[in-house]
């Protein structure tokens, strides 16, 4: 039987037999002290305490009827030698039996090294002797301590009790089995301590990241904690900019400004980072000579040699790259690689959470600004219609968002006339509200200085052409009402025509020109309308006629006219309220997508 961890070509040769174990070499085993300090383990008793070794040795001597000792790597006993009673009483008989049969040397000791992670930390020595059958309970107890199958232990123990060469071979096999079992126990202890170190480190880093306030502080704590946990010179963190196909430096620990200014890292040029973003851990033994490194001289001046690079991956999506740098050539252990991967996974989640928190804060800040802007916009819209003798005037404004592009305005001129404006700015939200404020200010400025209504509109149009983009324009209806003369002079700039209801019939007031903000040379026309008692002027924006129900059907201009005729004898305020109510009933629960502005003017005398 060949020991499970022995080299396949190893053969037993007698008392000085040694066991060479085939294992992947690991430069050192480490434990983290307070989450940051790394210390190597170099003694067998660093993994298994002396009392446990003594217990294993005593059970071995009792079961195998041998004399046993466990030594350290220098040959110094770590345990008290255990000699079974059966071994003492049979020593003379064994010697005589060997002499008579010519089996000299069968009572000589056998030794096998205890190898942990490629290093010899000690050895176990036994002196076998022929013995009587052993109780099953004792075998089971020894197998449990060594974490081996009881049947395997019994098979070898029985062979040890046989004669001549078979006994010698079985003794060596048993020695291999025992040495490898102790090595395996040590390695289990290593894995356990690694896990404890990893969890402790991750717990400490998690606390640090949890306490971070804001994205940048989170990034800075990641680079600091990684450098401390892996005991390296420096660390850098770059986040992926998909638009520029570039890894942008966001945080560093212990790297100079000169090194950071060495140049950009484009993904097309960096094979190392492309490999890392694919989920691989990339190791560079010496960045000053590695052909994959772009900036060799900068790394040499910075005093960094070995590099370990891994991706920051959140929900299977790479978001950046984490690099650690050592000041000398360094082989990173499997434990350090796995620890870096674990930290990078936790860091990626923390970074994304910080990003979301930052976005939330930005949105809240923007929302506060929008609320302030909406309040300013509401103050621009008159709180109510002016009271004019002989006229009943009302207005209603229903934005679909906090900020809208519709507006209406009343401008009083020396108590003899009233300017009425209804406009619809293309777009919605903050840009539309800003443009609305600009148009309102321009109308008020020109209306106070210029008498001709068509000239007022022309100047507003030229100002918009000069100050706005090609895709920004405004539809506008503007009129002045002369109280004494009962005259209405108006001009429409691409706006839906106002409706005049007289004697149960509707007429469109459509004189004017094209929308504002397109052609600076556009000329506008005006119309002077003599009003009569009972006339109704209704001005609206397209949010009324373009309201859509769940079937995709618009309220339409025909329904606007029919509804207006139905309520023509109501007060101006009731007309506005009922027009809104009718469209809402038509739309139902479907969401409105445009602002709605209504102005109703009735001639009462």
- The average pLDDT across 57-74 equals 77
**How far does CA 15 lie from the centroid of its chain?**
62
The pLDDT value recorded for residue 243 is: 75
The pLDDT value recorded for residue 568 is: 93
- The average pLDDT across 493-501 equals 95
Residue pLDDT, tens place only, 442-469: 999 998 888 889 999 999 999 988 887 7
Stronger pLDDT, 572 or 77, i.e. the higher one: 572
Exposed e or buried b for every residue in 26-60, given b needs 16+ CB within 10 A? beebbbbeebeebeebeebbbbbeeeebeebbbbb
Task: For residue 29, name the pLDDT band (cuts at 50, 70, 90).
Answer: very low
Residue pLDDT, tens place only, 126-183: 776 554 455 677 777 777 776 777 776 676 666 655 544 445 566 666 777 778 888 8
Task: For residue 379, name the pLDDT band (cuts at 50, 70, 90).
Answer: confident
Residue pLDDT, tens place only, 526-571: 999 999 999 999 999 998 998 998 888 999 999 999 999 999 999 9
- The average pLDDT across 58-71 equals 75
Q: Is the pLDDT of residue 481 over 70?
A: yes
Q: Is the pLDDT of residue 15 over 50?
A: no
Please identify which residue in the block is written with the tokens 């400025």: 445
Task: For residue 87, name the pLDDT band (cuts at 50, 70, 90).
Answer: low
DSSP string covering 311-368? EEEETTEEEEEEEEE-SS-----HHHHHHHHHHHHHHHHHHHHHHHHHHHHHHHHHHH
Q: Is the pLDDT of residue 85 over 70?
A: no
What does the mean pLDDT of the chain come to?
79
Written as six digits, the tokens of 359 are 């976005």
DSSP at 21: B
Stronger pLDDT, 29 or 475, i.e. the higher one: 475
What is the CB-side half-sphere exposure of residue 516 using CA atoms within 13 A?
34
Q: Going along 348-471, which residue ranges are E strands?
A: 391-398, 406-413, 417-425
- 68-72, 249-253, 509-513, 521-525, range with the lowest pLDDT: 68-72
- 162-171, 475-484, 490-499, range with the lowest pLDDT: 162-171
- 3-state secondary structure labels for all residues of 297-326: HHHHHHCCCCEEEEEEEECCEEEEEEEEEC
The pLDDT value recorded for residue 510 is: 94
Just give the CATH number of 212-358: 3.30.450.40
Task: For residue 381, name the pLDDT band (cuts at 50, 70, 90).
Answer: confident
- 210's CB contacts (< 8 A; 6+ apart) are 350
- The average pLDDT across 321-325 equals 92
Stronger pLDDT, 309 or 168, i.e. the higher one: 309
Stronger pLDDT, 231 or 63, i.e. the higher one: 231
Provide the whole-model pTM.
0.52
Closest by Cα among 420, 365, 463, 383 to 599: 420
Residue 569, SS3 per DSSP: coil
Domain residue spans of the chain = 30-196, 212-358, 384-603
Exposed e or buried b for every residue in 438-450, given b needs 16+ CB within 10 A? bbbebbeebbeee
- 67-81, 193-207, 429-443, range with the lowest pLDDT: 193-207
Give the rounded percent of residues in the chain with a pLDDT score beyond 70.
80
10 Å Cβ neighbour count for 258? Answer: 10
The pLDDT value recorded for residue 1 is: 33
The pLDDT value recorded for residue 436 is: 84
- 27-41, 51-65, 72-86, 261-275, range with the lowest pLDDT: 27-41
Please identify which residue in the block is written with the tokens 């048993």: 174
Residue pLDDT, tens place only, 239-284: 988 776 788 888 999 988 888 887 777 877 788 888 888 888 999 9
- The answer to whether the CB of 463 falls within 8 A of the CB of 454 is no
Q: Is the pLDDT of residue 396 over 70?
A: yes
CA distance 267 to 252: 19
Q: Which CATH architecture has domain 384-603?
A: 4-Layer Sandwich (3.60)
Q: Is the pLDDT of residue 210 over 60?
A: yes
């Amino acid at each position: 039987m060949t020991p499970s961890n022995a080299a396949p070509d190893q053969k037993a040769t007698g008392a000085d037999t040694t066991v060479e174990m085939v294992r992947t070499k690991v430069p050192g085993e480490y434990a983290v002290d307070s989450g940051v300090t790394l210390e190597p383990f170099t003694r067998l008793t660093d993994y298994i305490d002396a009392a446990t070794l003594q217990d294993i040795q005593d059970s071995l001597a009792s079961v195998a009827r041998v004399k046993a000792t466990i030594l350290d790597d220098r040959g110094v006993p770590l345990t008290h030698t255990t000699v079974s009673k059966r071994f003492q009483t049979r020593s003379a008989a064994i010697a005589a039996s060997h002499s008579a049969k010519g089996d000299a040397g069968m009572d000589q000791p056998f030794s096998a090294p205890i190898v942990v992670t490629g290093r010899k930390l000690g050895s176990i020595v036994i002196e076998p002797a022929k013995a009587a059958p052993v109780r099953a309970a004792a075998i089971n107890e020894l197998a449990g301590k060594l974490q081996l199958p009881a049947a395997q232990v019994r098979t070898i123990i029985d062979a040890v009790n046989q004669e001549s060469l078979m006994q010698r071979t079985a003794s060596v096999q048993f020695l291999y089995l025992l040495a490898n079992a102790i090595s395996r126990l040590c390695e289990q202890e290593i894995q356990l301590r690694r896990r404890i170190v990893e969890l402790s480190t991750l717990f400490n880093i998690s606390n640090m990241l949890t306490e971070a306030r804001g994205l940048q502080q989170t990034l800075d704590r990641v680079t600091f904690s990684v450098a401390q946990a892996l005991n390296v010179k420096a660390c850098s963190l770059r986040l992926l900019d998909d638009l520029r196909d570039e890894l942008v430096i966001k945080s560093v620990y212990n790297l100079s400004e000169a090194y950071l200014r060495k140049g950009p890292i484009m993904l097309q040029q960096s094979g190392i980072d492309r490999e890392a973003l694919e989920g691989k851990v990339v190791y560079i033994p010496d960045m000053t000579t590695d052909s994959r490194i772009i900036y060799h001289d900068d790394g040499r001046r910075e005093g960094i040699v070995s590099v370990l690079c891994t991706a920051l991956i959140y929900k299977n999506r790479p978001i950046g790259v984490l690099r650690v740098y050592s000041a000398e050539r360094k082989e990173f252990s499997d434990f350090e690689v796995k620890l870096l991967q674990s930290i990078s996974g936790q860091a990626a989640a923390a970074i994304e959470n910080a990003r979301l928190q930052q976005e939330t804060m930005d949105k809240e800040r923007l929302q506060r600004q929008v609320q302030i802007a909406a309040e300013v916009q509401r103050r621009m819209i008159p709180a109510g219609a002016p009271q004019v003798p002989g006229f009943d005037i009302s207005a209603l404004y229903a934005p679909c968002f906090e900020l809208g592009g519709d507006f209406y305005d009343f401008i009083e001129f020396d108590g003899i006339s009233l300017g009425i404006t209804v406009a619809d700015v293309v777009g919605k939200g903050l840009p539309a509200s800003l443009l609305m404020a600009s148009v309102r200010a321009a109308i008020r400025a020109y209306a106070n200085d210029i008498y001709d209504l068509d000239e007022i509109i022309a100047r507003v149009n030229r100002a918009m052409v000069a100050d706005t983009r090609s895709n920004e324009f405004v539809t506008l209806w503007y009129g002045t009402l002369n109280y004494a003369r009962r005259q209405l002079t108006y001009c429409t700039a691409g706006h839906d025509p106002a409706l005049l209801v007289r004697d149960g019939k509707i007429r469109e007031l459509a004189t004017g020109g094209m929308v504002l903000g397109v052609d600076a040379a556009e000329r506008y026309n005006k119309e002077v309308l003599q009003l009569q008692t009972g006339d109704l002027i209704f001005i609206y924006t397209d949010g009324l006629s373009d309201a859509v129900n769940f079937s995709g059907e618009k309220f339409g201009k025909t329904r606007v006219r029919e509804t207006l005729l139905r309520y023509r004898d109501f007060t101006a305020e009731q007309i506005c309220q009922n027009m809104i109510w009718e469209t809402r009933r038509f739309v139902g629960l479907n969401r409105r997508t445009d602002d709605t502005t209504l102005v109703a003017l009735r001639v009462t005398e």
